[in-house]
Structure 1
Amino acid sequence: MINEQTEGRIKKLETLKSQGISVYPERFSTNYELFEASQLEDGTSGVRVAGRIMSIRNFNKLIFITISNIQGSLQLLLKRDEVGQIPFEQFNDLLDIGDFIGVAGRMYTTKTEEKTLRIESYVFLGKALRSLPEKWHGLSNIELRYRQRYLDLMMTKDTQNRLLSRSKMVRAIRRFFEDQEFLEVETPVLQHTSSGAIAKPFRTYHNSLDTELNLRIAPETYLKRLIVGGFTKVFEFAKCFRNEGISPQHLQEFTMVEGYAAYWNYEDTMKLMREMILYILRQTFNTTTITIKGQTIDFSLEWEVISFRDLIFNETGIDINLYPNVKDLLQETKKRNIDLDHSEINSIGRGSFIDLLYIKTCRPQLVKPTFLIQHPIDLSPLARANDGDQTLTDRFQLVVNGAEIINAYSELVDPIEQRKRLEDQAILKSNGDLEAMEMDEDYLTAMEYGMPPISGWGFGIERLLMILTDSDSIKECTLFPLTKKL
């Protein structure tokens, strides 16, 4: 049903048409972006810009207009004695906030010290048939902000800045890896198995092949196949899908950056990841110091390194090495009145249980950047066992403000050991652990052709941006987060 405001805008559109004005013109030639024009010297002429009208202040014979886009805004001045009676009245009578215009003119500075373009001519570029949200209140409904992100981007400066930072961050990451001689590649989204992470996949069906497929949960095993094929340093920006619960730190569809280097170990990768984070901060925010939950953190200072066992013991008093049986570990947590709040607590494997214990009791305490190392092998089906202790893996996670933002390890390249671990995972899955990995015969075949030493890493773009911008929800860090259908 058309409301009164929309009906009025449609009438204005028809009036423009009747006056011979093209209401949806093909193009408009600009020579400056809005943010560039706002920095021009007074007297600069021949300036041509375009944008959406965000405010109109009418003073009888002159009108101040603000136009904007995602990167900036510019004030315009429309004077009746400078553009003529008819164009002035057409604007006054027929244009609204939300419409698009293209203008040409010269720059000057107002008495209030605001850079302004004096309009010499303007062209109508498009009518908004719906009114924008009220300027001073914007979009207060969070669900509406996510569902109609285009309005949020128009009206909310924080959203604009955050998502512009995302684009800058992606560009910085790509440049960093290319400068380190890594090659960018692409691997399949549709996969026969859900290898590469401990997560529940989304499932789909391929009609022509008459087979069920999974949307990938990680690109890991395909990137490792490339190492088998002769690549030595690769990375990918990979859309991944995990059918897991909704939380402020999880998205079901997210962008992962994952990469591998032949002949490296996890300590080489740890050094690379620190360099990468510092590079991202400088390129995206022009600083290595940011504020997280009111605490100022300088990422250029030394980062703490702590083992999984020590962290859990420090927070809970439980030495996980004393409980090789998951049932005994469960009893010990109950004895200490630690409620892990998990509906399938009795069916998950030891690795998933330890991870849950860590997530509930330890991770929220890690605010400053911390490398968490020496993960139990139960947690890492694709990681290399430590030479000194075969129950641990050569792995690290970078944790900041209670969130894991990078996961990395020395890779398991022994196909016999890999088969054994995947068989153990398959047993867990058959016993009800929905996040356990599936058997992947094709990947095992690739491994049997031989792998060099490898180290790899993965991190989510949205999670990293969430931490670095101190956002309350990961949904703030993606352009179009998934919302429930109305």
Structure 2
Amino acid sequence: MVEKADKELNDQLRVRLQKMQALKDDLGVDPFGHRFERDTYAKDIHNFADDKSGESLYEAKKHVIVAGRMMAKRGAGKVIFADIRDVSGTVQIYARRDDLGENYSLLRRADLGDILGFSGQVMKTDAGETTVLVDKITWLSKALRPLPDKFHGLTDIDTRYRKRYLDLIANPDSFDIFIKRSKIVKAIRDYMDSVGFIEVETPILQNSAGGAAARPFVTHHNALDIDMYLRIATELYLKRLIVGGMERVYEIGRIFRNEGMDTTHNPEFTTLESYAAYWDLSDVMIETENIIRAAAQAVNEDGLITYKDHQVDITKPFAKKSMTALIKEKTGIDFDQKMDLDDARQLADDNHVKYESFWGVGHIISEFFDTFVEKTLIEPTFVYHFPLEVSPLAKKEDDNPDFVQRFELYIAGNEYANAFTELNDPIDQRQRFEAQASERENGNDEAESIDEDYIEALEHGMAPTGGLGIGIDRLVMLLTDQASIRDVLLFPTMRN
């Protein structure tokens, strides 16, 4: 079957190469064209004409110049209809040999996938379809390979991800997802700018990997002869800027984590991180709601979300619930009661919750939440009251030093945001880093390392600060109802 498909493809390539040469030899046409000045997109034509009658369009005499890839072609004698797709959509063109003379032969010779320019008048066919009656054709680019719906690659998932250009050509729904992604990111930027945040850029190559519990990618800088790391978070550099007095900063950028891959994880992904001086967790909750709503309204004005058959209304105030209270609701276990590590491990064993040898009570609490609660949170919910052990960069709660001022936002069973009232005490921060270093020695290769330069920055004084991180890719998945992160990344990481 594969051999037959390969032979068919090779036969089509051979024919198209012959047609390319004929364009040069017979018509003196460059098969790969030149700059083309268009004045109208397919969407503009439909907006202008779809609600008008054929008679009114004839009287309007609307002349347009369009360009795009030929996706369908009908007729071959004196009349040809074709569907032309550009970035905005598809429009039908109608060409008559009697109108075009020798120019008509360009369309006769064209294959599906070729890119051409057309000028002509907007009209309606007898069937009522908006169409451009062509008065001139310009050759722009020859496609030497057939469109993907002509062979097995159209619906093959692996091919869609490896050769995204074929997916975009063949699947308008996929194309639309990435247009929406762009609108979502723009809406987030517009909101952040509107409330006084400054967009900045921080290093991707770093001397130490910090700001998250994750395994980094390691590389080597030849000139300096030192190992360096692709960043696992933007956090520690952004908070240095708060120390420097910038007060409100954010960055939308790529993050790299050398970890497993699944439907919600790719080793290269995009985050928004923001930090605001003089804020705490309550301010960041307001900020987060506003960001999520702005992003949702960029693709759906009513703010309603459908994700994996869940209907979610983000226009309502988001719920706020304690992590330990949620665990108690699901299991009956009250982790707000003081307990030692042996007791916590026994509870884990009794409830079939796995744990690592280097975990403390806080890690086990977090694992109980992941096991019994996370997937049950459908409506937007801020989960706060996180254990200290899993939050090395967050300020402690005033009345309970075993927990910190941190929240995560859950919607439809997935996490979309992580936020702290930031730890700005350099003495406490050093102790937290040292505890993380001890975890690393005991087998936790995702624990934080000690960042001496960051501690020194804190020693100069950092204002009380509220910080936020949002995974852009997961947010796009939510807002476009996609089950896999690979469907919202133009070029996901793939095995060779």
Maintained 8 Å contact 1:55/1:65? yes
Provide closer, same or farther for how the CA distance between residues 115 and 443 of structure 1 changes in structure 2, counting only shifts above 3 A: same
Task: State whether residues 349 and 428 of structure 1, in contact with CA within 8 Å, keep that contact through their aligned partners in structure 2.
Answer: no
The alignment's C-alpha RMSD in Å is 1.9
**Contact 1:70 / 1:153 at 8 angstroms: preserved in 2?**
no
The aligned counterpart of 2:105 is 89
> Match of 1:26, as an amino acid?
H
Moved over 6 A (4+): 135-138
For residues 150-161 of structure 1, the aligned pairs below 5 Å read: 150-161=165-176
Matched position secondary structure for 2:44 = helix
Q: Is 1:412 paired with 2:428?
A: no
Identity of aligned residues (%): 39
Q: Match of 1:71?
A: 88
1:281 correspondence with 2:296: yes
- Counterparts of 1:163-312 in structure 2, within 5 Å, are 163-312=178-327
| Structure 2: gaps spanning 5 or more residues | 1-5, 50-56
Separation in structure 1 between the aligned mates of residue 30 and residue 62 of structure 2, nearest angstrom: 26
Please say if residues 69 and 154 of structure 1, whose CA atoms lie closer than 8 Å, have aligned partners that are also in contact: no
Cα distance in 2 for residues equivalent to 1:325 and 1:83: 87
CA distance in 2, matches of 1:289, 1:138: 34
Q: TM-score scaled to structure 2, two decimals?
A: 0.93
Q: SS at 1:311's partner residue? A: helix
Q: 2:457 aligns with which of 439, 446, 449?
A: 446
Deviation at 1:27, TM superposition (A): 0.5
Aligned match of 2:16? 9
- Partners of 1:381 and 1:464 in 2: CA distance: 25
Aligned to 2:54: none
Contact 1:138 1:155 (C-alpha < 8 Å) held by counterparts: no
Distance change (3 Å), C-alpha of 1:349 and 1:110: farther
TM-score after normalising by structure 1: 0.94
Using the TM superposition, name which of 316-325 and 43-52 deviates more.
316-325
Does structure 1 conserve the Cα–Cα contact (< 8 Å) formed by 2:235 and 2:273? Answer: yes
Distance 2:171 2:32 in 1: 27
Q: 1:424 aligns with which of 413, 428, 435?
A: 435
Structure 1 counterpart of 2:403, one-letter code = L
The answer to whether the Cα contact below 8 Å between 2:366 and 2:387 also exists between their aligned partners in 1 is no
Q: CA deviation at 1:473?
A: 0.7
Cα distance, 1:334–1:394 mapped onto 2, change above 3 Å: same
Give per-residue Cα distances to partners, 1:50-109, cap 9 Å, x unaligned.
10111111153211111113321111111111112x3323422x2100110011111001
Gap runs ≥5 in structure 1: none
Please give the per-residue CA displacement for 1:186-240, whole angstroms capped at 9, x wherever unaligned: 0000111111111111111111111111110110000000011110111111210
User: Counterpart of 1:56?
Assistant: 73
Cα contact 1:308–1:373 (8 A) shared by 2: yes
> Residue by residue, what CA displacement relative to the aligned partner does 1:7-28 show, whole Å, maximum 9, x if unpaired?
1101100000112102122200
Alignment of structure 1 residues 316-335 onto 2, 5 Å: 316-322=331-337, 325-326=340-341, 328-335=343-350
Counterpart contact for 2:249–2:275, Cα < 8 Å: yes
Residue equivalent to 2:495: 484
Matched, 1:130 2:138: no
Aligned amino acid, residue 72 of structure 1: G
2:379 maps to amino acid: K
Q: Residue deviations 1:446-477, cap 9 Å, x none?
A: 00011111001011110111112221111111
Amino acid at match of 1:453: P
- Contact 2:107–2:137 (Cα < 8 Å) also in 1: no
Deviation for aligned residue 1:312: 1.7
CA contact (8 A) 2:348 2:364 kept: no
Amino acid in structure 2 at the alignment position of 1:400: I
Partner of 1:108: 123
Structure 1 pair 117–195 and aligned structure 2 pair: CA distance change class (3 A) = same
The CA distance in 2 between the partners of 1:106 and 1:116, in whole Å, is: 8
CA distance in 2, matches of 1:420, 1:328: 25
Deviation at 1:350, TM superposition (A): 4.6
CA contact under 8 A between 1:106 and 1:118: conserved in structure 2? yes
Cα distance in 1 for residues equivalent to 2:289 and 2:183: 18
Between the aligned partners of 1:223 and 1:11, the Cα distance in structure 2 is 57
**Is contact 1:348-1:432 (8 Å) kept?**
no
Map of 1:25 onto structure 2: 33
d(CA) in 1 for partners of 2:360, 2:170: 47
1:405 match: secondary structure: strand
SS at match of 1:195: coil
CA contact (8 A) 1:407 1:458 kept: yes
| Count of aligned pairs | 479
1:136 to partner: Cα distance: 11
Aligned counterparts of 1:200 and 1:325: Cα–Cα separation in 2: 29
SS in 2 for 1:409: strand
